[in-house]
Amino acid sequence: MHDFTPLNASSGEVAALIEQMRRQEDAHRRVLAEQALLQAEHARLQTVLTQRETALKHAECRNQALIFELAHLRRLRYGVKSEALNAHQRALFEEGLEADIAACEARIEQEQPELIRPHRTRAGRQPLPEHLPRIEHRHEPAFCHCGQCGQTLVKIGEDISEQLDVEPARFFVHRHIRPQYACRHCETVTAAPIPPAIIDGGLAAPGLLAWVAISKYADHLPLHRLMQIAARDGVTLSISTLAQWIGRVGVALQPLADRLTERLRQQRILHADETPVEQLDPGSGKTLKAYLWAYRSTPMSADPPIIVFDDQTGRAGHHARAFLDGWQGQLMVDDYGGYKALFREGRVIELACMAHARRTFHELHKAQAHPIAFEALQHIARIYAIEQRGRELDIAARAALRRDEAQPLLAEFKAWLDSTRLSVASNSAIAKAIDYS
């Protein structure tokens, strides 16, 4: 049993204590309410901060993407096309600048007196190709007697110098004469057959057709310029006539294109890519976007290289399936989805193109000097160095080199990509480059 000692307190003191306790409880409830409000405000502010951080990251990614796109477009329009890390190329205007300097120096030499003209040491000059025909011009002295004593001069040697010249395209006419012979006895007429021609009864000889085709497709001269070149020699060739000739040449070369396609499909490794081209829409006066699908044999093949272009109206994957119908082998392409159906069928094995993966990092490096992109380029450069060493090897030696040296570097590159991807923003340009690789 506990003994309780009664508290000697008046009723007033008890009431005061009760009031004090009530006030403390009210204050405690107010503190709890304020704390709840502060916690709610903190949660709200934390949400706002998270949202703003997310928006800021999104804006930074968008800003990086826009900077990258702007730099890429500027480089496409104004910059060099090389993707080398250490490109040493002259500016486009330097060719004209050198020509102007040479012209000024020649003018200065002409205006200086002969006796005080300084001797110029010429830089080393490449010899002219031996396969070019030589036209000799012999320059004999005006007199065969010594100008000092009058004795007959004796040849002791020759001073030979060479100049490179060019003969511009020269138009001329083939005149075919076919005598007609008749038999007086049976009254039959005989003549030599008409020589075969690409265009039966046409005006253009094979040499002229070849000149038009090479000028347009190899030298990239539009038809109206060819018309102007011919007009300088007094030859009238309309654009419509030149266009018709190009079409007839294409028809004549179709068997060659078919044979090249046949030989190409015999290869077990092919490269493919597609590029948009502007194509006139007959009758509408407008241009449409068509696509040139390019297929080529591997540069590593010992056979002569084969490149075939397939002109199509679109980029749909069925164009590639139609061209490669029945073909089996390994196809190196980019990541365009139009080729995926070929790989799903199982008869075509996909080979990923390292050049396309490298290009995304190279563009980032050029646009922003991105350190991660530069590190990726260094990984790829080490792999490329091995490929360069194996270029002259046979297939077995090249495969062994890749297995022993390139495969470990590829595994190292893959591990680096996986670990680096975890530390970059998902929507950033560098993340997209890593995901592509």
* Secondary structure string (H, E, C) spanning 227-250: HHHHHHCCCCCCHHHHHHHHHHHH
Beta-bridge mates of residue 296? 271, 307
What are the average pLDDT values for consecutive 10-residue runs of the chain, which has 437 residues? Answer: 54 77 84 86 86 77 72 67 50 46 59 53 76 92 82 88 90 93 89 89 93 95 95 94 94 95 94 90 82 91 90 91 92 89 88 87 82 89 89 86 91 91 82 84
d(Cα 367, Cα 75) in Å, to the nearest integer? 9
The H or E element spanning position 52 is: helix 11-78
Q: Model-level pTM?
A: 0.64
Beta-bridge mates of residue 275? 292
d(Cα 88, Cα 97) in Å, to the nearest integer? 18
The contacts of residue 223 (CB under 8 Å, 6+ apart) are: 216, 239, 242, 243, 246
Helices assigned H by DSSP within 351-424: 354-368, 371-389, 395-401, 407-421
The residue count of the chain comes to: 437
- Coil vs helix vs strand at 421: helix
Exposure b/e, 245-260, CB count within 10 A at least 16 = b: beebbeeeeeeeeeeb
The pLDDT of residue 25: 84
Burial of 269 (0-12, 13-18, 19+ CB in 10 A): middle
CB count, 10 Å around CB of 261?
15
Q: Is 274 left (phi over 0), alpha (psi -120 to 50) or beta?
A: beta
Among 350, 311, 313, CA closest to 332 = 350
CB count, 10 Å around CB of 140?
7
Among 320, 326, 290, CA closest to 308 = 320
Using CA of residue 369, residue 370, residue 371, residue 372, what is the dihedral sign? negative
The pLDDT of residue 270: 94
Is 279 in contact with 290 (CB distance < 8 Å)?
yes
